[in-house]
Amino acid sequence: MKETKLPKVAIVMGSDSDFPVMEAAVRFLKDFEIETVVEVCSAHRTPDKASKFAKEAADQGFDLLIGVAGMAAHLPGVLAAYTVLPVIGVPVKASALNGMDALLSIVQMPPGIPVATVSVDGGLNAAILATQILAVGYPRLKDKLKDYKETMARKVQEKNLALQKKLTDG
């Protein structure tokens, strides 16, 4: 049964320069006690490793893959081509074109091979989405997600109070 093993996620980045986009994600997943492997692995420079990684991911116990890439960002699509695990794609702003190239390269996947795309540089959202997906099989995550949602709401409220104070003191 599922709960006998820990949920396990891989973050695969096309370049180590993509890491700052994913730092908050790594922390989030750790906080949620989700085993997280981070790999630098390029769809274009180390294609064999990328495809091998995706092919074996299910057998290695991974529940889900997060592909992170800029420019002609093929990595999430390449991962999705080789696995039936859900693949989340994070477009990175890494060129003159402001990440629009990466966004379209990831989200516009042709029929048959979807990639669950989040916003440009949306590393944290990739981690949250990953956790929501894992919660389908690991129910304990659902309560933690609800807590997180409530904490977010509380923080917005606190910021609102701080602003009210500032405006009154103003």
Of 36-55, binders to a second copy (CB under 8 A) are 38-49, 51
Which residue's CB is nearer to a second copy, number 31 or number 39?
Answer: 39
d(CA 90, CA 11): 10
d(CA 129, CA 21): 15
Partners of 64 in beta bridges: 9
Which positions from 57 through 76 interact with a second copy, judged by CB under 8 A? 58, 63-64, 70-72, 74
C-alpha distance from residue 98 to each of 53, 80, 125, 140, 145 (Å): 29, 24, 19, 38, 31
Q: Does position 34 bind a second copy by CB under 8 A?
A: no
Total of chain residues touching a second copy, rule CB under 8 A = 94
Q: How far is CA 51 from the centre of its chain?
A: 19
Tokens describing residue 164 = 């009210």
Which residue's CB is nearer to a second copy, number 6 or number 152?
Answer: 152
Among 20, 31, 140, 152, binds a second copy (CB under 8 A): 152
Which positions from 118 through 147 interact with a second copy, judged by CB under 8 A? 118-122, 124-126, 128-129, 132-138, 142, 145-146
Among 6, 20, 31, 162, binds a second copy (CB under 8 A): 162
Which positions from 97 through 116 interact with a second copy, judged by CB under 8 A? 97-116
C-alpha distance from residue 168 to each of 44, 107, 123, 162 (Å): 56, 45, 36, 10
Residue 36 C-beta: closest distance to a second copy, Å: 9
